[in-house]
Amino acid sequence: MMRSVVKKDPRREAFDYRFHAITLARQIGEYCSYCEIPVRGALPVEHIIAKADQSQFQNAWGNLLVACNPCNSNKGTKINQASAALRWIWPVMLPAPAQGDPVIWPDNQFSYDCFAYRLGGNQCEVSSRPGIDAGLATRANRTIADLKLNEDRRIECRTAARTAATTMARWLAFNGNDHNTPACLKEEIVATAKAMGFWSVWMTVFSRQMEGMGVSDLRRQEVLRELFVQTFPGTYPDTAFPSTAGWP
């Protein structure tokens, strides 16, 4: 949590935000923008600033993301104005004020850099990343607490993704992590990651595996970009690749 994404302006405005669901799916994928669990069926469109309190933002493209039912329910109307959004970490860069779009904060393309995952133990818990700015850590922890990200089936599915990622990272290591890795193995890794979701877990597990093997930062970034950044729709292309140190 949480994959930084880029949304391009839609080709046309929608008089009802639900008509943006297909565009959102194409641009940033069918995953919850907060916990990264896959969402199936009718895509649930999420309002960053609650439409119940700020109706002028109801159909504003810049105010829309995707959220699973638990995240949407837990978020509720906690973010009821633009200033309230400063309490959280966000996965998307929102536009400057124009045509009623809200202003959030300008450096949120590095949301992935604000969180860490427990790679050992029974459950794959998420926390603020050790060593980040104290203000960002406070916001990250509030985001986790408000969305209850370490509860219910979301943590169960995240843990399952960690298990699968760990196995596949070992397969990749066995094949050398180099340019001679069989294409079929890469395709299977990508297909499994996209099916299970939890992009940040896959990034973290594979990064840790390669760090442990002494793979250079440049090569590590090449592999992560090829497997996950370029294959998940809308992922911010300049996603940071922080160290995975800090969690067992």
* Residue 43 covered by a domain: yes
Say what the pLDDT of residue 109 is.
59
Mean pLDDT calculated for residue range 48-73: 79
Say what the pLDDT of residue 240 is.
59
* Residue 203 covered by a domain: no
Say what the pLDDT of residue 62 is.
78
* Residue 239 covered by a domain: no
* Residue 50 covered by a domain: yes
Q: What angle do CA 230, 236, 240 make, to 5 degrees?
A: 95
* Residue 89 covered by a domain: yes
Residue 30 has pLDDT above 90, yes or no: yes
Per-residue CA distances from 223 to 110, 181, 185, 243 (Å): 19, 11, 13, 15
Task: Give the model confidence (pLDDT) of 74-128 as tens digits.
Answer: 988 777 666 666 667 777 654 444 444 333 333 355 788 888 998 888 999 999 9
Furthest-apart CA pair in the chain: how many Å? 55
What DSSP string describes 22-75? HHHHHHH-SB-TTT--B--SS--EEESS-TTT-GGGTT-GGGEEE--HHHHHHH
* Residue 84 covered by a domain: yes
Per-residue CA distances from 196 to 9, 21, 116 (Å): 28, 21, 19
Range of the domain at 88: 17-101
pTM: 0.85
> What is the C-alpha separation between 39 and 111, in angstroms, rounded?
20
Say what the pLDDT of residue 164 is.
97
> What is the C-alpha separation between 235 and 110, in angstroms, rounded?
11
pLDDT exceeding 70 applies to what percent of the chain? 77
Least confident of 82-91, 131-140, 189-198, 237-246: 237-246
* Residue 186 covered by a domain: no
Task: Give the chain's domain count.
Answer: 1
Nearest to residue 28, comparing CAs of 64, 60, 73, 1?
Answer: 64
Average pLDDT along the chain: 81
